[in-house]
Amino acid sequence: MPEVGSTAPPSTAARTLRRFYLYRITWQAKFDSAIWIIYLQSRGYSLAEVGLAESAFHLAPVLLEVPAGSFADLVGRRWSLATSSLLVALSAALLWLAPSLPLVMLALFLSGASYSFVSGSDQAYLYDALGADEAGHRRYTGILGKLLGASYVVGAATTWLGAALSEISYGIPFALLIGVGLGGAWLAAGLAEAPRPRATGGGRPAIRRHVGAVRATLARRPVVGLVLLLSGLFWTAEAVAHLYLQAAFAARGLANRDIGLLVGATLLVGAAAAALSGRVVGRTRFAIQFAAIATVAGLGLVGTASEHTPLAIGAYLLAQPAYGLAEPLLLAWFNRQIPSAQRATILSVESGLFSATMIVVFPAAGLLASRLGWAALYLICGAATLTLGAAVLVAARRWPRPA
C-alpha cells in the first residue's frame, strides 16, 4: 500500500497531520475519568456492580479489537477513528442517564468499543503518514512522544475540570464529553489517507485473507507475539491501579476535587516523560529499557500501598514517568516490526489481550480490595509489574537478535 506520507503533496500531508494531532489530543479529553465510579456510586450502584460494568467495557475489545483493526486496514483508518469518536459520545450519553445496571453495562461496552476502533488505527495512521522509512521511523518516535505528552496534559486538565464541575452537577462533564466525541468524529472524517487496496472476491474472503496474513506475520515473528502478551499484562496492572485510584483515595477521605488533582497530576508527570521519549528510545536494548520501566513502575505501585497518604501519593507519582516512557517505547518497537498492511490489526491484538485479562482481573481486584483492603491490591499490582520486568530480561536471552 502506498504510504500517506509518500504520496500526498507536502502541503496536504502537513495539513492532515495537524488535523490528526488535534484529533488525537482532543480524544484524550476525558472529563469523566476521575468521577465516573464516584458518580455511579452516587446513583446507588455498588462497587461490585461497578466492577461488573467495567468488565463489560473490556468485553468490547475482546470481541472487537481484531475486527476493528481489520476494518481500519481494509476500509480506512480515518473511518475507524471517526467511529471511535461517535461511540464516545453515545457512551457518555448512556452513562449520564444510568437508569439501570444493564444500560450502564451497555454504556461501558460502547466506551470499550470506542477504544477498539482507535487503538492501532491512530498509530498506524501516524506511522504511515510520516513515511515508514528510517527517517520516518526516527521522526515517529519523537513526534509520538510529544503528541502523547500533549494528550496527557489535555487529559490532566479535563480530568481536573470534570471533577471540579461535577461538584456543581455531574451532568456538566458528561455533556462536555458528548461534545468532544462529536467534534472528534468531524475531525477524523476530514483526514487525508491513501486509498486502501481493493480486494477481489467479496468482503468476507478479503477479511479471511487479511486475518490469515496477520497470523502468518506473527508466526514468522514470535518475538512480536511474546511482547504483545507481556505488554498486555503490564498495562493490565497499570489499569487496575489507575482505575481504582479514585475509590482508594476516596476511602482515605479525599474530596472529588482533590482526587481530580491527583489523577491530573499523574497525567502531567506521564506527559513530561512521554515528551522526552524520543531522546531515550534506542539508547540501549529494548529489553533492558522495558525491564527498567517495569521495575520503576512496580516499586511505585508497592509504595502506593503505604498507609501514610502523602507517601502513597508520592510513590504513585514516582511511577508515572515509567508509564509515560512505556507507551512510545512499545509502540515504536511494534511499528518497526510490523508490515503496514497488517499494522492496525496486529497493534489491536495487544489491546485485545489486555481487555481479555481485565474482564476477569478488574472485578476480582475490586472484590479483593473490599475484603483485604486497598493496600493488598496495590502490593499485588506492584509485585506483578516487577515480575514482568524480570520476565522480559529472561526471555531476551532466547531472542534471536538484540531487541
The neighbour count for residue 281, using CB atoms within 10 Å, is 23
Please give the grid coordinates belonging to residue 46: 455498588
User: Which residue has better confidence, 23 or 57?
Assistant: 23
The confidence score (pLDDT) of residue 74 equals: 82
37, 351, 308: which is closest to 166 by C-alpha? 37
Three-state secondary-structure class, residue 66 = helix
Lowest mean pLDDT among 101-115, 199-213, 357-371: 199-213
Render pLDDT for 171-195 as a digit per residue (tens, 0 to 9): 999 999 999 999 999 999 888 886 6
More confident position, 244 or 383: 383
**How much is the average pLDDT of 136-163?**
78
Mean pLDDT (the chain) is 81
The answer to whether residues 153 and 268 touch, using CB atoms and an 8 Å cutoff, is yes
Give CB contacts under 8 A, 24+ apart, made by 204-211: 206/74, 207/70, 207/74, 210/70, 210/73, 210/74, 210/342, 210/345, 211/66, 211/70, 211/345
| Residue 299 pLDDT greater than 70, yes or no | yes
In the 8-state DSSP scheme, what is residue 132?
A: S
Distant-in-sequence, close-in-space partners of 93: CB < 8 Å, separation ≥ 6: 174, 178
Q: Which of 74-83, 146-155, 387-396 has the highest mean predicted lDDT (pLDDT)?
A: 74-83
Q: What is the mean pLDDT of the segment spanning 89-102?
A: 91
Which grid coordinates are listed for 66? 481484531
What gap in Å lies between CA 63 and CA 70, rounded to an integer?
Answer: 13
pLDDT (0 to 100) of residue 402: 43
Cβ atoms within 10 Å of 15's Cβ, excluding its own: 15
- Asked whether the beta carbons of 80 and 121 are under 8 A apart, the reply is yes
Q: Which residue has the higher pLDDT, 33 or 135?
A: 33
List, in order of start, the domains of the chain with CATH numbers.
Answer: 4-396 (1.20.1250.20)
Helix-helix angle 203-220:47-74, to 10 degrees: 100
Percent of the chain scoring above 70 in pLDDT: 87
Can you tell me the distance from the alpha carbon of 231 to that of 388, in angstroms, rounded to the nearest whole number? 9
Q: How far apart are CA 145 and CA 152, in angstroms?
A: 10
Number of other CB atoms surrounding residue 254 within 10 Å: 17
**Is the predicted pLDDT of residue 383 greater than 90, yes or no?**
yes
Confidence of residue 347 (pLDDT cuts 50, 70, 90): confident
**More confident position, 134 or 394:** 394
**Whole-model pTM?**
0.65
For the chain, the straight-line distance linking the first and the last C-alpha, in angstroms and rounded, comes to 27
If one counts every other C-beta atom within 10 angstroms of the C-beta of residue 174, the result is 25
